[in-house]
Amino acid sequence: MEQNIIAGKTAVITGANSGIGWEAAKKLAGMGCRVIMAVRNEEKGKQARGGIMKEHASAHVEVMKLDLADLASIRTFAEQVKSRLDSLDLLINNAGVMMPPYSKTKDGFELQFGSNHLGHFALTGLLLPLLVKTEQSRVVTISSLAHNRGTINFENLDGALGYKAKKFYNQSKLANLLFAQELDRQLKQHGLQTISVACHPGISATNIFKFGKRDAPQFLKKFANRFLQPPEMGALPTIFAATDPHLSGGEYIGPNGKGHRKGYPALETPHMVASDEATSLKLWEVSEELTGVTFDFTPEN
């Protein structure tokens, strides 16, 4: 992860105002990368940007509004990015909702599947024209250890036939991984140089700080800080996936410690539930249908 690998490049990071996203934004900004913090709450985004600028006064960091639970917001954000930039080196699909009470996005999707997967699917598709014309560009999508307990229930994606928060979280994180892998396959099939890499942070202290919109109890925060992966360590797989020059696409990066819960980044093998290409393709087709976003793999001249 030498500085010159990312210096002078441009990255969009979703959910960059807190937790692992903020740690990744801070690290990349410190390495000389121009960072666009794509956040739902601009005020919190500006505060988070201030924290980065305190440590890296000469960094190039911007805040832009993006609500992944609103397809109109995603389209507006993508158009603004494309109007500002001629190229995009890095898209980090980081933002996530974890185990809220049953609720829906503005477009009627179950909130976790809609935000964690469909929102990032749409965003990636809309920014693809910039990515594919940028040399050595890549998409990094953050999954979770929870993917190994996930299944894609195509008959109940909106939760209308029953909802369990943890089950739907697991489903959304499996969807993230299936999407990252299928995206890389399709990029390669079309002979494009852009790559797609997946990663996960292990079990980070940030994971249990909130239950939906409620703060976690204080004793859990103390437990998390003592025994779980701190956010700056949890962000290392993201940084590795974003900057390591030896990655060729399709990899899955996670911590190298026991159970892949803590440690330093290393190549990891996804659970077998993520190896079904038929499910990946069906998820892709359903995602295009639900979002109205189709991927154009033809690079612009």
Residue 219 confidence class, pLDDT cut points 50, 70, 90: low
For the segment 251-258, the average pLDDT, to the nearest whole number, is: 87
Does 19 score more than 80 pLDDT? yes
Residue 271 confidence class, pLDDT cut points 50, 70, 90: confident
For the segment 70-98, the average pLDDT, to the nearest whole number, is: 97
DSSP 229: B
With b meaning 16 or more CB within 10 Å and e meaning fewer, what string describes 234-257?
A: bbbbbbbbbbbeebebbbbbbbee
Q: Which of 98-102, 167-171, 210-214, 276-280 has the lowest mean pLDDT?
A: 210-214
Does 290 score more than 60 pLDDT? yes
Does 217 score more than 90 pLDDT? no
Which pLDDT score is estimated for 207? 47
Query: Could you say which of 163, 169, 252, 264 is catalytic?
Result: 169
Does 16 score more than 70 pLDDT? yes
The average confidence (pLDDT) of the chain is 91
Which pLDDT score is estimated for 1? 36
Q: What is the pLDDT of residues 235-245, one digit of tens each?
A: 999 999 999 99
DSSP β-ladder status, 90-93 and 10-14? parallel
The single-letter code of the amino acid at 255 is P
Active site (annotated) includes residue 102: no
Which pLDDT score is estimated for 33? 97
Q: What is the C-alpha to C-alpha distance for residues 30 and 201, in angstroms, rounded to an integer?
A: 20
Does 149 score more than 80 pLDDT? yes
Does 139 score more than 70 pLDDT? yes
Does 208 score more than 80 pLDDT? no
- Domains of the chain, with CATH numbers? 3-291 (3.40.50.720)
E strand or H helix at 252: strand 252-255
Which pLDDT score is estimated for 220? 56
